[in-house]
Amino acid sequence: MLPMGAQAQGEREAEAIALLEALDVRAYADKAHAIEAIVGNGDPRARDWLQALLDGRLQRTEAGRFVVVLDNRGRDWPVADALTGEPLGEISRRDLERLGINNALRNQLRSAIAVVDLHSPDLDQRRASAERLLGEVDAELAAPLAAVIEAETDSGVRRRLVQALAVYRLEQGEVAAVADLEGSLHPRVRVALSRAAGGDDPALAAAAGSALNAIEQLLKVNRAVETLYFGLSLGSVLVLAAIGLAITFGVMGVINMAHGELIMLGAYTTWAMQQLLPGQPGLALLLAIPAGFLVAALAGVAIERGVIQFLKGRPLETLLATFGISLILQQLVRTVISPLNRSVVTPEWMSGSIAINDALSLTLNRLYVLGFALLVFAALMLIMRRSRLGLEVRAVTQNRAMARAMGIRATRVDILTFALGSGVAGLAGVALSQLTNVGPNLGQNYIIDSFMVVVLGGVGNLWGTLVAGLSLGVINQVLEPWAGAVLAKIIVLVLIILFIQKRPRGLFPQQGRAAEG
């Protein structure tokens, strides 16, 4: 006589074989009943069987043994026992018979797999299953789904299941189902409500129409938040691109047309770091932050010592000379690296988005760039307000002659200031590499906007640069959907010109005798 445990195990295996044998019939209606029996049985192997049947991998050998095909390429296929999962080696595909299904059974299997997943201890699996069921519930699923809702412990999964069941009830003409769908921003819910609002039942149509109107108002709020977010992310890029220019322009009065190419060098430094550290984009990006700063800073020192120091007090010649340098740097990159754009791999922790609700998600790369811009701004404010260099920079900015008389080496301040401003431009390039492709013309896309930010905010004022950059980013994002990218920039330029007519020194004018002169 067999022990009780062994006897129970044998009974379970016999029951499992019976469930699989019920699938091996010609009539599709009988197969549908067999699928329902597998779902209701609660066997832990049920999901694997259903998925294998859906994929066409649940097959039977000539000896009547049920197997799961592991790889259906070639003449001989590796298989595993459907009951135990034990590998059985390779079997010729001619010796296997697939359990066939039709489209109706495929839809039933997808729903059945979703129901099985709802009993999984894995929360993510239950969430994915609940998401799949929205709009897919039928009369056969309605009853077991109600029981699952009662047993579900996670509020998010339960809410989605309630909505899935409510969509089915709405399709059956239940007015009370509208209450469970109110405030939902999910596209499938809106589709179901739209159909009900256009139906023949006046009570149902009125309730669904009212719910849709409320949802539309919520969507407008979410779109506004999304526009604000994208505007702030664009503005943070403008702040990074312009803040270094604000420092050099404010202290030295130099219109540096090569500032965009310093941004480009920072972006190419990020790309180069990823070439040195293949397969480690996160580490490469972190190392690119100091590297991009140093590369751009050294390039800035070279420009200042090699050209700008000889052209002080001659703004037109400085503008033309730095424009020539920008062309040289662009051609140098084209010759040494490539004229083609290079793509920088975004680290995994910067990929994806944060889902706020069904209609609003915030992309992580833009969120990181926004945070990075604010950190750079805070660091620069500390340097300008709490360090000796910052004190000397402010002294030279306000009155260069008096600063010299007080013993400040203005030439040294110029070099360090230009290096600092150029280094920040390099940091802007590092950030931009996570938002767009890296190419020789990358900096040209931001140089004009950078000058607009500096002029609007007030020459040499960091707070003005921050406010102006974020404001221009939001204004551009608001105007572009209805005016187009080109016309939006024209409108912004006209608005800035009109503003400067009223406030020639910008939002936050520079203080000191130099500002008055």
Mean pLDDT of the chain: 85
Question: For the CA atoms of 92, 94, 97, 102, what is the dihedral angle to 10 degrees?
Answer: 110
Considering the segment(s) 221-511 as one domain, its CATH architecture is Orthogonal Bundle (1.10)
Q: What is the tens place of the pLDDT at every residue in 154-186?
A: 888 899 999 999 998 898 888 999 999 998 889
* pLDDT confidence of residue 517: 44
Strand duo 87-92 + 66-69: pairing: unpaired
H or E stretch at 81 = strand 76-81
pTM (2 decimals)?
A: 0.77
Give the pLDDT band (50/70/90) at residue 500.
confident
- pLDDT tens digits, 72-89: 888 889 999 888 888 888
In angstroms, rounded to a whole number, what is the distance separating the alpha carbons of residues 353 and 356?
9
Position 265 scores a pLDDT of 93
Paired tokens of 36: 């329902």
pLDDT bracket for residue 374 (50, 70, 90)? very high
Q: What is the pLDDT of residue 276?
A: 92
Confidence of residue 444 (pLDDT cuts 50, 70, 90): confident
DSSP string covering 328-358: HHHHHHHHHT-SS-B--PPPGGGSSEEEEET
Best mean pLDDT range from 122-131, 272-281, 449-458: 272-281
- pLDDT (average), residues 250-263: 82
What band does 516 get if pLDDT is binned at 50, 70 and 90?
Answer: very low
- The whole-angstrom separation of Cα 305 and Cα 460 is 21
Name the percent of the chain lying above pLDDT 70: 95
pLDDT in tens, 138-154: 777 777 788 888 888 88
Query: Which fold, 14-103?
Result: SH3 type barrels. (2.30.30)
- Quote the distance between the C-alpha of residue 18 and its chain's center: 48
**pLDDT band of 396, cuts 50, 70, 90:** confident
pLDDT of residue 144: 77
pLDDT over 60 (residue 67): yes
Q: What is the pLDDT of residue 513?
A: 45
Question: Domain-by-domain residue ranges, the chain?
Answer: 14-103, 221-511
